Structure 1
């Protein structure tokens, strides 16, 4: 099926003309209502001159409210020229990001933001909590990456404010939302080795006065290299918007996910050591190296439905209200010695989330609230045992901001209270969690800022309040970008040493420093992203590298009378030594430093099409980031994004 679709992509790129750039951010575009009123002058002169007055009813969509006005925003233009595979790759441009990569395409890699990984990050999409309710984490492969307009990363002191948990970090994926002046279509395709391919198609149009309809379909696939590493992922979303007025916009949406993934647990190094004279070399032979689970599979199905209201009920105000329903089914299967071992997790959640903003004079009040009722079932296949849980979560909070000296200084205080009732087969729990904090930001000039924030929050696993602190500064001009952050936090960490439970739990304290330094000179662009994590009590933080560096040197400019926007060059990755726990009993090992060099090329033609080429791991380095999941060997990948039918 995917090969047929790819043939269609190559055919249509030569057939359909390109008039409008799909790669531009069209969020602020206005679509004129074609229902004009023509008035003929009854006192027309003898020369039949007619005066026509056209009254244009202009629709201007209301954009969703950012979670904060002090967040780090990764815009679509930032990652447009990156040859990314999934939504997790889009976070690499943040300067305190680390991906604990499992090597195999489509695997649920663990992403760390501000040193926080699984069960500590609230992933939101358009303000709605998107995490798996059982693991309180998210496989970022399940986010439809081509549907993302920008990514918002909330400063760590404010991270606990959003979502039903008091997670210390919040990431919000903001989807594309615009009114196309004409029917709009975009298609993207890329292909790599071993059957790796992705195709994505999007269509949007005004189907009637004040009605906009859009849909998007994505398919990713990957053939087997090592045993049991195949991938099939289908994603679909559709939206229907009604623009009641320029003060009230209504939206209904539906998201569907169907993922089938082989989970082999990595190379069985113990078995390999017994059968090989050189296991460190044979580890990278996909034919010879045995895997831990040759038959373990994970199938995921999700249905996400929602009704969203964006409104401006008063002057200097905005309301973002969403009512949603989520259904999820995770099926694990592992056949061993003709016995079927497995677990099925079913989740049904109904909830609502509100974000209201009101400005009065120098003060801005943001009111936050959410409610969710969740019914979940965990079924052990081998034991024929079913456990049911019911959760009811309610939280409210807010942010009060005062702006001084023409917004040069903004100070904020914020608070959140969580109520959590849980009933399962064994008992009933009532949990009350809260958090409080304050921050200040200085904005002396455009694209200059200094941020300082501190908060205390309660965690379900900790008896005392735990702190979060951050200080950061940013400066940008036409040639230079300087962005530095220092942070400190404490959090409860679930070490997902295996893809499925049980997991190991412990308290983690993290201190880190991140720096982005980019410089443009003539047609040369230097980009660097560096992070360093400090020792605490003479011990290295588990699962985070001592330091990480990503640097690229590119040719980046407009060529051929500005018809080609080119970015081409070398990108170097270095990850320092990483301490990590290998098993559930706390045995600690380490991963030695690793590096690789890629060649990337991306070119945008007349702002309507973009082509990609990547030569990954130029020197063919053999390495892993997570034992024992080998990273991809030297390979070539290419792709194309193009607009159609405009």
Structure 2
């Protein structure tokens, strides 16, 4: 597979070079801009998401319509821009999410695994992922795997204020918005990215976007990443492709069509079988063997044998967007979309292991949907409405009673008032019908510019949240789940210093939690029941961005006050990432260099395991002796810390090279038991831009 990726990389290089030489449309002149000046990119941005007054002019003055979106980028939200993404160290989109406040990944140790991504402690079944107004979550489990998203086409990432997250999808407590580049820009643009790392890890992405006529823009992107088994039964291969078309009938009417497919294969070994090691070796020897990928036994699988547990995913997604701007300051978007997804989950398929349950399930669904967004801006207000209709036909083999045709529709609105220059206030609400039941929510927030350097934001909302099909099947809930959220944020900027702090508090009634029947036999990770309880989650975030001379310092910290008891830490006590870099422009402006160290760390948390078929984290088991629900393990993970050496350079505004010496201290640790994190190794890569 490594040879195949190299061939694909080489062929793509020649194809894009040919396009570059034969292009007939001259791109507009570019303004010199230092791409290393990324100090404010991860902190709040005071611009609008997509400035309706800013457009790219084609040769005959035809302009694409850029809808401003349902959320504006003021102090209430966070934005990561493309130029920051390109000069950051990342493997997949999940790594980029950790750059957001309260962003965290329950990392399973190696590329391609279905890592759970959390924002403010909200992950599977509580985090909405939205691309240009359409929710990407799996409609059965209400979860999303970021391995399936093409990071190279991203133009920007937004974190919606926690108080407004319920306005999208099924009223989840956190929402992240993804805006891809393809279909937006009219200048010809192509990009090729490639990286290689130990354990047969390879990644290649080919992106092309061009204005073929004065009205027609066409783009495509193809992504492939693979990794050989580091431990037994831990390999993965993901293919993702997309094609888009924008036709500009006029400056008032645009049509966008997009198709995307996903074809992935992931082996799921369940981590190292530490119980076997501790029962057969001393603790010191067991710890040493656990980090030896050739000797360590895993729960599912053996080296050089067929995989006893894996998941295949095939998905087709089609959407059509009609963009209208019939009058100034008024934008309309009508979207229709279709999703067809199949997950093939296999466990002990050939009945090789007597102690592992046999599971052969094909879980699929078809989704038909439509949405409408209307935006209008006046001199002192902005109004938005968002309507959505979906029809779901689910066919999950682990569901016996809940498979049916399910209709849902929602109506959300927001009114933002800014009669004065020093701040604004907004009110918002939503009504949702899901599975023949009604849910609603409302909220209010406000922002104040105390000075040009100092801003403050606060908001509150309350809403009811529907249960997904798995919760209905395995939990049979009697009451609705209610969520109240308070979120506040302070921002300060002065010269090259940027500082942002945030606090949130969320209280949830009748929140579900999963239970397995056996704790000591970790091989039985299949959820047997769901129960419900009231929960509280609160946390504090600090983001610092400071440049002095040619030294850039970044850090992003989060601390969680959540603790349901003296022994329960269902979230890490703290998380953080950051870096210290030397940045400069060298060789007559031909090289823009960023070199330094990355660091990341996290605090202790309780042991957990995953039901990968249903995308559910599990912390509890049912004790048959006491007939009580207990933690699956009294142990907690140790706090972790890792340092990487990172070098990136942009050459003549056309190519970027990457070099990462990962885990230079060769620390032995895990975040999720027992999935050892990457050992010390070197990863390098290159991205090359054409035509732009």
Q: Decide: shared fold, TM above 0.5.
A: yes
Partner of 1:72: 78
Q: What do residues 369-418 of structure 1 show as CA deviations (whole Å, max 9, x unaligned)?
A: 1110000102269xxx8973221111102011111213x22111111111
Q: How many residues align?
A: 610
Q: Secondary structure at the match of 1:93?
A: coil
1:500 and 1:87 mapped to 2: Cα distance?
28
Aligned 1:217-228 pairs, distance under 5 A: 217-228=222-233
1:617 and 1:442 mapped to 2: Cα distance?
42
Paired residues of 1:119 and 1:135 also in contact (CA < 8 A): yes
Q: What do residues 173-220 of structure 1 show as CA deviations (whole Å, max 9, x unaligned)?
A: 111146666643221111111110111111122223411111111110
1:9 and 1:281 mapped to 2: Cα distance?
43
Paired residues of 2:492 and 2:498 also in contact (CA < 8 A): yes
Aligned 1:582-593 pairs, distance under 5 A: 582-585=619-622, 586-587=630-631, 588=633, 589-593=635-639
Which residue of the other structure, out of 345, 354, 375, is the alignment partner of 2:363? 345
Partner of 1:50: none
1:293 and 1:459 mapped to 2: Cα distance?
36
Partner of 1:419: 433
1:495 and 1:142 mapped to 2: Cα distance?
25
Q: Secondary structure at the match of 1:282?
A: helix
Which residue of the other structure, out of 484, 493, 499, is the alignment partner of 1:476? 493
Which residue of the other structure, out of 106, 122, 127, is the alignment partner of 1:121? 127
Q: What do residues 136-186 of structure 1 show as CA deviations (whole Å, max 9, x unaligned)?
A: 0101101111121111111001111111x1111111111114666664322
Task: Work out whether 1:489 is the aligned partner of 2:526.
Answer: no
Aligned 1:35-46 pairs, distance under 5 A: none
TM-score normalized with structure 1 length: 0.88
Which residue of the other structure, out of 311, 316, 321, is the alignment partner of 1:308? 321
2:219 and 2:182 mapped to 1: Cα distance?
10
TM-aligned CA deviation for residue 463 of structure 1? 4.0
Q: What do residues 579-623 of structure 1 show as CA deviations (whole Å, max 9, x unaligned)?
A: 345443341531111111101111111211111000110011110
2:63 and 2:446 mapped to 1: Cα distance?
33
TM-aligned CA deviation for residue 510 of structure 1? 0.8
Q: Secondary structure at the match of 2:403?
A: strand
TM-aligned CA deviation for residue 291 of structure 1? 1.2
Partner of 1:248: 253
Gap change, CA 1:258 and 1:178, over 3 Å in 2: closer
TM-aligned CA deviation for residue 12 of structure 1? 8.1
Paired residues of 2:183 and 2:219 also in contact (CA < 8 A): no
Aligned 1:392-431 pairs, distance under 5 A: 392-406=407-421, 408-421=422-435, 430-431=436-437
- Name which one, 1 or 2, has greater alpha-carbon Rg: 1
1:490 and 1:199 mapped to 2: Cα distance?
43
1:644 and 1:496 mapped to 2: Cα distance?
52
Q: What do residues 483-532 of structure 1 show as CA deviations (whole Å, max 9, x unaligned)?
A: 11000113435559998755755543111000101110000011111111
Task: Work out whether 1:549 is the aligned partner of 2:590.
Answer: no
Partner of 1:292: 299
Task: Work out whether 1:561 is the aligned partner of 2:588.
Answer: yes
Which residue of the other structure, out of 435, 439, 449, is the alignment partner of 1:443? 449
Partner of 2:475: none
Task: Work out whether 1:320 is the aligned partner of 2:333.
Answer: yes
Q: Secondary structure at the match of 2:164?
A: helix
2:515 and 2:9 mapped to 1: Cα distance?
36
Range with bigger deviation, 270-279 or 410-419: 270-279
TM-aligned CA deviation for residue 228 of structure 1? 0.8
Partner of 1:515: 542
Paired residues of 1:13 and 1:642 also in contact (CA < 8 A): no
Paired residues of 1:373 and 1:391 also in contact (CA < 8 A): yes
**Greater fraction strand:** 1
Gap change, CA 1:635 and 1:329, over 3 Å in 2: same
1:170 and 1:403 mapped to 2: Cα distance?
24
TM-score normalized with structure 2 length: 0.83
Superposition misfits of 4+ residues, deviation over 6 angstroms:
9-27, 496-500
Q: Secondary structure at the match of 2:346?
A: strand
2:343 and 2:463 mapped to 1: Cα distance?
31
Q: Secondary structure at the match of 2:98?
A: helix
Which residue of the other structure, out of 377, 395, 412, is the alignment partner of 2:395? 377
Q: Secondary structure at the match of 1:214?
A: strand
Aligned 1:149-298 pairs, distance under 5 A: 149-163=155-169, 165-177=170-182, 183-277=188-282, 278-294=285-301, 295-298=308-311
Range with bigger deviation, 434-443 or 182-191: 182-191
Task: Work out whether 1:631 is the aligned partner of 2:644.
Answer: no
1:579 and 1:59 mapped to 2: Cα distance?
57
Paired residues of 2:381 and 2:419 also in contact (CA < 8 A): no
TM-aligned CA deviation for residue 83 of structure 1? 2.2
Range with bigger deviation, 552-561 or 479-488: 552-561
